[in-house]
Amino acid sequence: MQEKILVIGACGQIGTELTLALRQKYGNENVIASDIKEESPLFAGTGPFIKLDAMDAAAIRALVKREKITTIYLLAALLSVTGETNPALCWGLNMGALRQILDLGMAEKLKIFWPSSIAVFGATTPRENTPQKTIMEPTTMYGVTKYSGELLCQYYHKKFGLDVRSVRYPGLISWKSEPCGGTTDYAVEIFYEAIKMGKYTCFLSENTYLPMMYMDDAIRATLELMDVPLEKIKSRMSYNLSAISFSPKEIAEEIKKYIPNFKMSYAPDQRQAIADSWPASIDDSTARADWGWKHEYDLPKMVKVMLENLTEKLSK
Ligand code: AKB
């Protein structure tokens, strides 16, 4: 059967690139992008777009029925920093939208992708090589919604057989689309500032290690997980996913190889406490064993491709 896909929250950092990748894989007309925001210029004209509120269950249900949707990627969410400025909205949107989509998934027999995050972990979690199954006591509202969401997805799978799949994304680094409202956003901002200004003041301290991943790896992981035969998915809690772990100091050193006069300074703010509560590195051996996940981009490869592409983008 031809897959017909709906991406909710398509104009965000992941949604933009995922929409483009899905359109390439399944055909432009078979991937409907939707967002509460205006259509992203990055995919405008490449396929159908509908302005849609992720909380509007009736509108989404009507769209799913009308367009005979088979798969939903639900990406609409508030991230860790924005979530702390409005915890009530963070809970309302992140959990409310998920619950509605899970119910719709059951009613319409849909396949669903929903992203979790390294934010499910907290200060009581082992920080190095954080295992798939471990202590989870998140301290941000975003982390609370992601952990609760994982449990909800697992519940709907076990109780109702719903095919909902998920990964715990680390910080994502991309040049096409920009992140918004996360603690790991510095690892994208640094490239813009290095190219435009030759300097960057980081809101995290120099030795704050966090798990990160280049966007191409994240998109490939998502598409691969959604393609894996059902019996290979042994965890219905979200899969740990790992690629690179680095500190602000280390990424700055790598950037200096291309921009020798680049100056990095540090002014940690309230985001430091969030970063300090998260893992420094992730053990993703379960994803590697269950469905063959393998990252391609290490720190040098990622920095090279980011600088090349962003330099060209910013020169236009
Ligand atoms: C954030 O920093 O909030 C996100 C995440 C790691 O989920 N990028």
Q: How far apart are CA 36 and CA 260, in angstroms?
A: 42
Q: How far is the CA of 185 from the centre of ligand 1 (A)?
A: 8
Q: Is the pTM of this model over 0.75?
A: yes
Q: Which two tokens stand for residue 79?
A: 């991230």
Assigned CATH class of 173-212+244-283+297-314: alpha beta
pLDDT the model gives residue 23: 98
Among residues 73, 142, 186, 209, which one is catalytic? 142
The number of the ligand 1 atom at minimal distance from the alpha carbon of 183 is 2
Q: How far is the CA of 17 from the centre of ligand 1 (A)?
A: 17
List the chain domain ranges.
5-171+215-240, 173-212+244-283+297-314
The number of the ligand 1 atom at minimal distance from the alpha carbon of 184 is 2
Give the pairing type, strands 31-35 and 49-51. parallel
pLDDT the model gives residue 171: 98
CB under 8 Å to 229, separation ≥6 — which residues? none
Give the pairing type, strands 111-113 and 31-35. unpaired
Within 10 angstroms of residue 91's Cβ, the number of other Cβ atoms is: 17
pLDDT the model gives residue 316: 87
Q: At what angle do helices 215-227 and 13-26 cross, to 10 degrees?
A: 50
Q: How far is the CA of 2 from the centre of ligand 1 (A)?
A: 33
The residue behind tokens 């490939």 is: 220
pLDDT the model gives residue 106: 98
Write the DSSP assignment of 14-59 as a string of letters: HHHHHHHHHHHHH-GGGEEEEESSPPPTTTTTSS-EEE--TT-HHH
pLDDT the model gives residue 150: 98
5-171+215-240: CATH, from 3.90.550.10, 3.20.20.70, 3.40.1260.10, 3.40.50.720: 3.40.50.720
Q: Is 142 a catalytic residue?
A: yes
The number of the ligand 1 atom at minimal distance from the alpha carbon of 117 is 7
Q: Ligand 1: which of 13, 121, 142 to mutate, judged by most atoms within 8 Å of the beta carbon? A: 142
Q: How far apart are CA 200 and CA 222, in angstroms?
A: 31
Work out the percent of the chain whose per-residue pLDDT is above 70. Answer: 100
Q: How far apart are CA 35 and CA 97, in angstroms?
A: 13
- As a whole number of angstroms, the longest Cα–Cα distance in the chain is 58
Query: Which residues does ligand 1 sit against, CB inside 6 Å?
Result: 79-80, 117-119, 142, 169, 171, 182-184
